[in-house]
Amino acid sequence: MQKGFLSQYFEKVAIKRLTAVEVNTAISNQHELNGSKSLKTLFGNERVSYQSKFLWLAGESEGISCEGHLTWYDAREAHPTRSEYRLYFKSNEIMDQARESDMLIIAKRQNGEFYIIIVPYGSTLENQLLWLFGIEQVGYSFNLQAIENGHNPEVNFAVRYILEELDIEIEETDSGYLDEILEPFFSTGFPNTSVFSQLARQTMREVSSRDEPDETLLKWIEHEEKLFKRLEHHIVSQRLQAGFCTDGDTDVEGFIKFSLSVQNRRKSRIGYALEHHLEEIFKVHELRYSRTAVTENKSKPDFLFPDIKSYKDMTYPESRLTMLGVKSTCKDRWRQVLSEANRINKKHLFTLEPGISENQTDEMQAKHLQLVLPKRLHETYKSTQQSWLMDLKTFIQLANKRQKLMF
């Protein structure tokens, strides 16, 4: 196990597509998967049972999880010469969601816990997980992948992103250094998002937003994410230690309100951080822009180049206008950008989401939407997609070229 690499979180994974007999209750109600060489390597030759975590991941706000049991056993244990291993599970809401050709992952954690993950066929999450575990093709029989001596990527932004989709807590190795930076906020709480983003930039050394805008942006985002999680840990711990009681009674509503505030802050913070860091990079490159200026139908594009005044000037050439929407994750929300800045036919959308499905990117191209993301994240996409993707440096060059045409 290597600290800071995927093997810190997973030991082995077995991946396959589900067949009709495994998921269609009209055909079979067995709640079992036939044993295979891959599963024997994963579970061994003895009868064992595990308390496991089941996850169904289908997209934004569609992930659900539950606890359940797995039993690995030989159905012909009493037979002197034959064996027939099976993996049994009880019916649960996760397995009930599964459909034929969905991807099944049986993942063994380093602590011995098993994750059973179901992902819809052809989805973005399927792409992301195949990239994470270094598997190019998946069929209807199990493909076993050992992590330690195989595909074992470092836990960088893309790996961290996917692990968090699996509800896995990332262990930080530099908590002492982070505490030194955050100490002034332990008693005052979270500063506003622009101040926090500025703190992340000021404490991330050896980066150049002018020479390497793509890598610099990712490093700023990664650093701010670590700072945020560390400060959140301190603030939430203090609040939980104080308890939720009013006049001797448990304050259930107070706890729920506090819990929702934590979740809402997590959801909104990354989007603001991304916009703040992009704006800083645009300033360094001396780009003219308007941020969240109002266009048609009260829409507010995240960035308009060169500015809103030029956009509203009907004599200003449309070919010199550029719009950049910003969404930390696209999911199904990328279509919202299409209705913004009607004068601009080909729109640009910046995201940090790795491995978006080909179905989604094909639709983006058909809708004249160009996806922009940091160069390092391009590798999480299929080779057929990569030639179409745009990185931040190329986008800056495009906006800069159109800006210089003004003079």
Return d(Cα 396, Cα 281) in angstroms, integer. Answer: 9
- Structural contact between residues 6 and 155, judged by C-beta atoms closer than 8 angstroms: yes
Q: What angle do CA 110, 218, 293 make, to 5 degrees?
A: 130
Q: Would the CA dihedral through 12, 18, 23, 29 be positive or negative?
A: negative
The number of residues making up the chain comes to 407
Angle between helices 213-242 and 252-284 (to 10 degrees): 160
CA dist 111 and 346 (Å) reads: 49
From 73, 115, 161, 311, the catalytic residue: 311
Q: How far apart are CA 118 and CA 137, in angstroms?
A: 16
- Residue 306: asked if its preceding bond is cis (omega within 30°), the reply is yes
Which residues, including other chains, have CB under 8 Å from residue 313's CB and lie 6 or more apart?
A: none
Examine the residue annotation and report whether 88 is marked as an active-site residue of this protein. no
Q: Which residues are catalytic?
A: 311
